[in-house]
Amino acid sequence: MNRKVTIVGAGNVGAAAAQRLAEKQLSDVVLVDVNGEMPKGKALDLSQAAPIECHDSKIMGTSDYSYTKNSDVVIITAGIPRKPGMSRDELIETNSKIMKEVTEKISENSPDSTLIIISNPLDAMCQIALKTSGFKKTKVIGMAGVLDSARFKTFISMELDVSVENIEAFVLGGHGDTMVPLPRFTTIAGIPVTELIEPKRLEEIVERTRTGGAEIVSLLKTGSAYYAPASSAVEMTKAILFDKKKIMPCAAYLEGEYGISGIFMGVPVKLGKNGIEEIIEIRLEPDEKKALEKSALAIKNLIDSLKI
Ligand code: TXD
């Protein structure tokens, strides 16, 4: 195949993303991990599913970055996940070092790639990747909004017993407790959600979305969510590989958009072959704007503590 995607971190999210990329025949996949021969084992196992799943994507596992050369997209999931009771921010020390080391190697081997950052705390990890890689800000994108919006859509579809395909929803802001689900932009077959779900119940669904990651962490006991995060990363990858110009909520580096500067935060962006091709600015109501500013402040405080 003439499209190549590297996934750094062959753990839960990385392996699930490799499987989806291959089975959808979107690209060849290189799985990179520091954990001995584990990435080789996972790649071999995934390759042996190919004759049954009927795809010709090549999947390899390695710890050697020379195999990642000239990747089109690089998905970075390397790091440690949360344990029950932990916040995403508590991962910062360990994951910052890993993100720096990985981005150095990736930018050497694939200087023209687009980076999709997954590791937590997401907004801060994006900042490290941008600084370390020296890439243009349009080529470093964080995955959170697609997942948070998918969670919001799932809960709405459960509530109304309607197809998930009917639902459009947007979650903006940071990937944490201050994320900003926007009921005003949420529709079911074009019908505003506020026509179908009463405000109190909708607020409960919004709150479940905000804590959607923690709900899964507490059920799994070890590790955090990975099927939906992998799907979200693959959706973004597809938009870039196929130049789809698709609008989705992603963490982007802001320089004045929404009145915010110098941090990554979830906003609607258009994804295509050049990465982020446009940041879409929508007019927000005062309470929505306030919520977004609160989210930005939480991200800024975390970044300041990192001194990056
Ligand atoms: O919405 C989102 N952005 C997220 C983020 C949704 C789900 C998971 N989120 C975060 O992604 C999570 O908090 C973690 O920080 C990452 C990866 O989660 P995953 O569940 O895949 O963790 P695993 O299974 O522990 O896998 C991480 C792998 C593991 O195999 C390590 O050996 C590897 O990362 N690792 C490295 N690979 C390459 N290079 C280095 N330095 C390295 N260090 C660890």
What is the structure's pLDDT at 59? 98
Instruction: Name the catalytic one among 151, 175, 210, 270.
Output: 175
What is the structure's pLDDT at 41? 98
Q: How far is CA 182 from CA 167, 178, 231, in A?
A: 13, 12, 22
CATH topology for the 4-142 domain: Rossmann fold (3.40.50)
Instruction: Tell me the CA–centroid distance for residue 290 and ligand 1, in Å.
Output: 32
What is the structure's pLDDT at 177? 84
Low-confidence ranges of the chain (pLDDT < 70): 307-308
Instruction: Tell me the CA–centroid distance for residue 260 and ligand 1, in Å.
Output: 28
- Residue spans per domain, the chain: 4-142, 145-306
Instruction: Tell me the CA–centroid distance for residue 240 and ligand 1, in Å.
Output: 22
Amino acid 91 reads: L
CB distance 224 to ligand 1 below 6 Å? yes
SS3 labels along 263-281: EEEEEEEEEECCEEEEECC
What is the structure's pLDDT at 180? 94
What is the structure's pLDDT at 82? 80
Amino acid 90 reads: E
For ligand 1, mutation pick of 118, 123, 171, 217 (most atoms within 8 Å of CB): 118
Residue nearest to atom 32 of ligand 1 (CA): 35
CATH topology for the 145-306 domain: L-2-Hydroxyisocaproate Dehydrogenase; Chain A, domain 2 (3.90.110)
Q: Is 175 an active-site residue? A: yes
Q: How far is CA 180 from CA 173, 249, 265, in A?
A: 5, 11, 11
Cα–Cα distance for residue pair 131/125, rounded to 1 Å: 10
Amino acid 300 reads: K
Q: How far is CA 278 from CA 107, 250, 268, in A?
A: 23, 11, 9
Is the Cα dihedral 82, 86, 91, 94 positive or negative? negative
What is the structure's pLDDT at 287? 93
What is the structure's pLDDT at 153? 97
| Minimum-distance ligand 1 atom for the alpha carbon of 39 | 30
Instruction: Tell me the CA–centroid distance for residue 79 and ligand 1, in Å.
Output: 4
Phi, psi of 262 (to 5 degrees): 85, 10
What is the structure's pLDDT at 131? 97
What is the structure's pLDDT at 89? 81
Cα–Cα distance for residue pair 29/207, rounded to 1 Å: 36
CB distance 103 to ligand 1 below 6 Å? no
| Minimum-distance ligand 1 atom for the alpha carbon of 118 | 3
Cα–Cα distance for residue pair 27/33, rounded to 1 Å: 19
The predicted-structure confidence for 278-305, as pLDDT tens digits, reads as follows 999 999 999 999 999 999 999 999 888 8
| Residue 259: both structure tokens together | 């009145």
Distance from the first to the final alpha carbon of the chain: 38
